[in-house]
Amino acid sequence: MNASATGDDKVAIVGTGLVGSGWAIVFARAGYKVALYDTAPGNADKSLAWIAERLRDLEAAGLIEAPDAIQARLSIAPSLSDALNDALYVQESVLERVEVKTTLMSEIDKVIGPRTLVGSSSSGLGASLYTEHVTCRERCLVAHPLNPPYLAPIVELVPAPWTTQETMQAVRALMLRVGQSPVEMTREIEGFILNRLQGVLLMEAWRLVEAGLATAQDVDKTISEGLGLRWAFMGPFETIDLNASGGVADYARRLGGLYHNIASATKEHRPWDETLIAKVEAQRRTVLPADQLAARAAWRDRRLMALAKHKRDMDLAEKECSNSNIK
């Protein structure tokens, strides 16, 4: 992970909540100096303390060494101008509201250097909604992570109509340098890739529970003890490419009809109403009482760390196996 950063390179984190703090770990872990800035007094201090705990967790899980050296690369910037000074990249992670991001972008535009790039952690709002008015807009894009970014490598790069190819390429290269897995969209669409895929799966999951066909717990098991096992290391296209002797085209011709039937039979998409929400909530609370939500989230993070370590070890073992000619 400590690959190719020069040590002089600096990244600014603007907005130091859960997402911004997670990003800070990603960049500092890779050797970058990271300046933290948040408008709310005390937030950046809380972020530093939170990061110190996470670094200890990551060390205990065997995912990093020398947490102190990583922590030493982090500092709090007294102003937005100080945060951005000499930064090659700004990861903006403020509240997901167009007016908040629009105002911030105006502020950034006043102090940004001529080569600094700006990525937004927005999970669904395209950069066109809050960067049209700024002079640096060609250097702005969405760089949407999955939480927490220091355990899930994916980052969606989504250009606004005015984002240049140079910006896309430079942020892509940066994300690769810090150990993330960038994917690129050619243009904006609501929900990008990640939340569109999650969204259609959730809509169907809720529909099955609403229709009384299965419990939320059994729908969950179908993923966690079934489909999710393959998806932990292969995407849906590779999965079906390997599930028919003639590859993906063979699979599509055999099973396209079934999936088309299923999708076509559910043309009506009603919003989740309070009755349905209450039903799902009640089912979840029998499995996990509300007072155990935080403990279970900590369990999830331990499992994610262990899975990250498992995948890294598997990838390393494959690389070392020089006889293998499989990609």
Task: Write out the binding residues for its own copies, residues 283-302 only, by CB under 8 A.
Answer: 283-285, 287-288, 290, 292-293, 295-297, 299-300
Nearer to its own copies, 57 or 107 (CB): 57
CB of 316 to its own copies, least distance (A): 12
Per-residue binding letters, 63-92, with its own copies (x by CB under 8 A):
------------------------------
Nearer to its own copies, 115 or 302 (CB): 302
Nearer to its own copies, 16 or 116 (CB): 16
Nearer to its own copies, 18 or 66 (CB): 18
Nearer to its own copies, 133 or 303 (CB): 303
CB 131 within 8 A of CB 137: yes
Indicate left, alpha or beta for 80 from its phi (over 0: left) and psi (-120 to 50: alpha). alpha
CB of 292 to its own copies, least distance (A): 6
Which of 1-9, 26-34, 169-177, 276-284 is the region at the interface with its own copies (rule: CB under 8 A)? 276-284
Binders of its own copies among residues 215 to 274 (CB under 8 A) are 216-238, 240-243, 245, 247-249, 252-253, 256-267, 269-272
Rounded CA separation 48/37 (Å): 11
Cis peptide before 148 (omega within 30 of 0): yes
When binding is defined by CB under 8 A, the residue of 56, 166, 310, 316 that contacts its own copies is: 310
CB of 65 to its own copies, least distance (A): 22
CA distances to 45, 46, 71, 145 from 49, in Å: 6, 5, 10, 22
CB of 96 to its own copies, least distance (A): 10
Q: Which token pair is 205?
A: 């999951």
143 phi and psi angles, rounded to 5 deg? -130, 85
Q: Which token pair is 135?
A: 């002079």
Rounded CA separation 59/321 (Å): 26
Binders of its own copies among residues 123 to 142 (CB under 8 A) are 124
The alpha-carbon radius of gyration of the chain (Å, integer) is 22
Which of 85-93, 128-136, 151-159, 170-178 is the region at the interface with its own copies (rule: CB under 8 A)? 151-159
Residue 304 burial (C-beta neighbours within 10 Å; 0-12, 13-18, 19+): middle
Nearer to its own copies, 86 or 301 (CB): 301
CB of 39 to its own copies, least distance (A): 22
Nearer to its own copies, 72 or 314 (CB): 314
Residue 60 makes contact with its own copies by CB under 8 A: no
DSSP secondary structure of 219-263: HHHHIIIIIHHHHTTS-HHHHHHTSSTTHHHHHHHHHHHHHHHHH
CA distances to 161, 245, 314 from 260, in Å: 33, 21, 36
Nearer to its own copies, 50 or 272 (CB): 272
Number of residues that bind its own copies (CB under 8 A): 111
Nearer to its own copies, 40 or 259 (CB): 259
DSSP secondary structure of 150-202: TT--EEEEEE-TT--HHHHHHHHHHHHHTT-EEEE-SS--TTTTHHHHHHHHH
Binders of its own copies among residues 180 to 219 (CB under 8 A) are 181, 183-187, 189-191, 193-205, 208, 211-214, 216-219
Among 24, 39, 116, smallest CA distance to 73 is for 24
114 phi and psi angles, rounded to 5 deg? -75, -15
